[in-house]
Amino acid sequence: MNFIKTDKKEKIKNLRVKLYERLTAPIDAMWELLYIASSQHYLIEHNNSQIGYCCIDEKNTLIQIFLLEESIYVMEKAINELISLKLINSASLSSNEPIGFNACLFHSKSTKANTFCFEHLNTAIKVNSTLNIELVSPDDITTIKAFLKEQVGMDDTFGYTENLVSRKEIFMIKESDVIIATSECRMSDSQPEIADLGIIVNKNYQGKGIATQVMKMQVNRVLKSDRKPICSTTLDNIASKKAIEKSGFYCSNIIFDITF
């Protein structure tokens, strides 16, 4: 079995479409657009045929793997060879693709939940809120970047905010001149039926139910656009998990860190 570095985006895209058809739950946008997109892609060859691909990050962590239907029987062998060749020493994979996930579990020395991924019941929610949610404009970009840096330590030097603003997918809630929360509502390009929600609440305004109110408003916005809302939160963010569940979401898959 051979693992060949590639930048053939069209080839990978075609294979990834097949992977998405196999998923038991939607893929999280943060992992898709940041972690997977920035990893090194490899085409996988077996018996002189291309049978799939995998993505490995700079820490030698397997981020995604896919084998064609007729080759899934060698998934465990593929994981074993990746480990033997020292191409990977760990994996961060979701339970929404059981074949690769289970093959990694077979070789695991330890596992730990990293990110909880949620789907919605897809029913509108009653909202009792006086919060005014508004689109972020190009004039607000500098202020939003400062907010992200201060609140979550995100140093956006790669155009993340600009992209969301141009797509009209980032919102803010202000009190006087203070941003008390931002919210992303990303309309997925790869999953046309899905919209991915995210919320950051100002540290000085947390614990007041703002996240839940904003999440409910965004859920209704997504449902009106005939899409299905999804979202995620990390293992340690208990408050976020509670707000998500109060807004009608349920955990449909978990991204685990697996060491070999």
Q: Residue 129's pLDDT is what?
A: 83
Q: Is the pLDDT of residue 156 over 90?
A: no
Q: Which two tokens stand for residue 92?
A: 């961060």
Q: How far apart are CA 144 and CA 179, in angstroms?
A: 8
Mean pLDDT of 22-43: 94
Window from 64-68, 117-121, 206-210 with minimum mean pLDDT: 206-210
Per-residue confidence (pLDDT) for residue 181, from 0 to 100: 96
Specify the pairing of strand 40-46 against strand 49-56.
antiparallel
Q: Which domains does the chain have, with CATH numbers?
A: 2-108 (3.40.630.80), 119-253 (3.40.630.30)
Average pLDDT over residues 66-75: 97
- Output the pLDDT for position 176: 86
Distance CA(194)–CA(26), nearest Å, equals 8
Question: 159 burial class (0-12, 13-18, 19+ CB within 10 angstroms)?
Answer: exposed
Report which of residues 257 and 175 the model is more confident about.
257
pLDDT of residue 91: 98
For residue 65, the model assigns a pLDDT of 98
Is residue 86 a contact partner of residue 45, using CB atoms and an 8 Å limit? no
Handedness of CA 184, 190, 192, 193 (dihedral sign): negative
For the cut 90, the answer to whether the pLDDT of residue 148 exceeds it is yes
Question: What is d(CA 41, CA 36) in angstroms, rounded to the nearest whole number?
Answer: 9
SS3 assignment, position 124: coil
Mean pLDDT over each residue of the chain, to the nearest integer: 95
Question: Which pLDDT tens digit goes with each residue over 180-211?
Answer: 999 999 999 999 999 999 999 999 999 999 99
Mean pLDDT of 223-245: 94
Span 69-82, mean pLDDT?
97
* Model pLDDT, residue 128: 85
Q: Which residue has the tokens 């006086």?
A: 130
Decide if pLDDT at 22 tops 90: yes
- Check if the beta carbon of residue 201 is closer than 8 Å to that of residue 181: yes
Residue 57 has pLDDT above 90, yes or no: yes
The pLDDT, as a whole number, for residue 34 is 87
Give mean pLDDT, residues 54-61: 97
The secondary structure of 222-259 as a DSSP string is HHHTT-EEEEEEETT-HHHHHHHHHTTEEEEEEEEEEE
Element (H, E) at 21: helix 9-22
* pLDDT the model gives residue 242: 93
Residue 111 forms beta bridges with which residues?
A: 258
Q: Give this prediction's pTM.
A: 0.92
Q: Percent of the chain having pLDDT more than 70?
A: 100
How many residues appear in the chain?
260
